[in-house]
Amino acid sequence: AEANLSLSDGVAVASWTVSGNVIHLKLAKRSRATSISYRGHPFDGPWIKNRRDVGALCFEGFPIR
């Protein structure tokens, strides 16, 4: 699923974990990205889902805090 997450500055996402409603990213190198996008994962997903088991379809340019 890491390949489907992309940062606005192009730095690769090495891995990720979820805690509550926060996604924690481990990056391949330092980043100055201001947003993140998720392109979805066809056929064997969803990889990102909420407590009700509803998966994220996609999001584009979501601000990073």
56 pLDDT exceeds 90? no
The pTM score is 0.69
DSSP code for 53: -
45 pLDDT exceeds 70? no
* Both structure tokens of 50: 């909420």
β-partners of residue 24 are 17
How are beta strands 13-19 and 59-63 bridged, if at all?
A: unpaired
- In what helix (H) or strand (E) does residue 27 lie, and over which residues does it extend? strand 22-27
CB 45 within 8 A of CB 19: no
Mean pLDDT of the chain: 82
Q: Please state, in angstroms and rounded to a whole number, the distance separating the CA atoms of residues 59 and 38.
A: 5
